[in-house]
Amino acid sequence: MQDLLNLFIRSIFIDNMIFAFFLGMCSYLAVSKTVKTSMGLGIAVVFVMVITVPINYLLDNYVLKEGALTWISPGFASVDLSFLTFILFIAVVASIVQLLEMIVEKFAPALYNALGIFLPLIAVNCAILGASLFMQGKGFESVGETVVYALGSGIGWLLAIVGIAAIREKLRYSQVPAPLKGLGITFIITGLMGIAFMSFLGIKL
Amino acid sequence: MSAKNLKLIKNPLSKENPITVQVLGICSALAVTAQVKPALVMAISVIVVVALSNVIISLMRNTIPPRIRIIVQLLVVAMMVILVDQFLKAFVYDVSKQLSVFVGLIITNCIVMGRLEAFAMQNKPWESFLDGIGNGLGYGLILVIVAFFRELFGSGTLLGFQIIPESWYAANGGFYYNNGFFILPPMALIIVGVIIWIHRSRNKDLCEN
């Protein structure tokens, strides 16, 4: 139990998707103008991540890894399909996003209107594919761990985008030099937020 | 090469730079810029992937049903990235290890999808190829500039060669220390912010309101 909690805290604060790995920067920069929309996108990312990363975990362990196919027949022990990783992972992400879009549209029209344009965008959000690829290297032992990791990474991303959106809302009233307005200052503030997040490195887990 | 085609290559280097103006492909860019060598390899990989997938999508542009075009594009890009990844693993294994997941993340690099959507879906293969090369170069340019400053000030080396003289270092009785801050992730963001600042103050029409 404590291990799971550690993993959760670590994936939110220390291995934060944005401040430590710069993943999902494109939508982070494009959709962080107001807190409300960034919250919507953040929730959608958490949602998609919690579903796709465990699916990719199962796929990795039962199809892709060397010797993973032995559950079909012992003769497959030497088959290594790991070169197919990228194409299968991205296919899973894209199809889950498409599926989710249809389900949400049918059963929760209000949520669909709120997330509407962001859902399809998530298919190409590198944070999602990135979480799946990092998961591969971490060697988790159960699906539970993977779910916790995905949830933590998603919440970390949500925290970052809502934080920058709040700062940008305030920033509208400050006098930023014209060439630095918009994109430039957002980069520099993200850098400063990253420095603040680095203080979490001191936490012993 | 006609003037129009030359423009396809030249524009993305400055006026329509994918990173500082179009804001595409920042995701996997910054993490590989702590040293020049991985940044160069990454830049070349992206140029290859953008140019080739631009050509393939451009050849298929009239047969792809609009509703499923994103999935088709993703599959083409994923295929190109697998080729690049296997190539890197075979020939420059140490750099491939250093880049780790970021080669795979070229798939979701918005610059690739962005060019496919904005250019290759409407234009002929040769123009698309040039557009891919141009945008890949514009992306690589920023990557190498960032990596240059980070490696020079962070480690005192360039491409692994010592640039700051050994005798300057405090350990050898000198006055100089490497600025470890440049190696850390936040510095990459700040350097890009400063590059955007300089770029926009020289091209006033790019400023945002």
Q: Least CA distance to A186: which residue of chain B?
A: B193
pLDDT, position A117: 63
pLDDT, position A157: 92
- Whole-angstrom Cα distance, residue A72 to residue B17? 50
Q: Is the pLDDT at A84 greater than 80, yes or no?
A: yes
Q: Is the pLDDT at A186 greater than 70, yes or no?
A: yes
pLDDT, position B61: 86
Query: What's the domain count of chain B?
Result: 1
Q: Is the pLDDT at A147 greater than 90, yes or no?
A: yes
Within 10 Å of residue B5's Cβ, how many Cβ atoms?
15
Q: Which two tokens stand for residue A175?
A: 């006098």
Q: Is the pLDDT at A115 greater than 70, yes or no?
A: no
- Work out whether the CA dihedral A24, A100, B104, A79 comes out positive or negative: positive
Q: Is the pLDDT at A37 greater than 90, yes or no?
A: no
pLDDT, position A116: 60
Q: Which residues of A touch B198 (CB under 8 A)?
A: 179
* Average confidence (pLDDT) over A52-58: 91
Give kind and range of the element (H or E) at residue A5. Answer: helix A2-9
* Average confidence (pLDDT) over A35-58: 88
Angle at B67 between CA B58 and CA B119, to 5 degrees: 30
Q: Least CA distance to B206: which residue of chain A?
A: A179
- Asked if B81's CB is within 8 angstroms of A29's CB, the reply is no
**Separation of CA B9 from chain center:** 15
Q: Is residue B183 part of a domain?
A: yes
> What is the maximum span of chain B, computed from C-alpha positions, in angstroms?
69
* Average confidence (pLDDT) over A145-170: 92
- What ipTM did this prediction achieve? 0.82
Residues with pLDDT less than 50, chain B: none
Q: Is residue B7 part of a domain?
A: no
- Asked if B201's CB is within 8 angstroms of A179's CB, the reply is yes
Its domain, for residue B109, covers 18-199
Q: Is residue B80 part of a domain?
A: yes
Q: Is residue B9 part of a domain?
A: no
Q: Is the pLDDT at A99 greater than 90, yes or no?
A: no
* Average confidence (pLDDT) over A87-97: 86
Residues 113-172 of B with CB under 8 A from A: 113
pLDDT, position A110: 76
- Whole-angstrom Cα distance, residue A201 to residue A83? 34
pLDDT, position A65: 80
Q: Least CA distance to A125: which residue of chain B?
A: B108
- Asked if B201's CB is within 8 angstroms of A187's CB, the reply is no
In the structure, what pLDDT confidence band is assigned to residue A114 with cuts at 50, 70 and 90? low
Q: Is residue B31 part of a domain?
A: yes
Q: Is residue B3 part of a domain?
A: no
- Whole-angstrom Cα distance, residue A68 to residue A21? 29
Give kind and range of the element (H or E) at residue B192. Answer: helix B185-202
In the structure, what pLDDT confidence band is assigned to residue A89 with cuts at 50, 70 and 90? confident
Q: Which residues of B touch A89 (CB under 8 A)?
A: 104
Q: Is the pLDDT at A15 greater than 90, yes or no?
A: no
pLDDT, position A85: 84
In the structure, what pLDDT confidence band is assigned to residue A183 with cuts at 50, 70 and 90? confident
Q: Is residue B6 part of a domain?
A: no
Of the candidates A24, A83, A184, the beta carbon closest to that of B193 is on: A184
Q: Is residue B204 part of a domain?
A: no
- Whole-angstrom Cα distance, residue B35 to residue B15? 26
Q: Return the half-sphere exposure (C-beta side, CA atoms, 13 A cut-off) of residue A75.
A: 1
- How high does pLDDT run on average in chain A? 84
pLDDT, position A152: 93
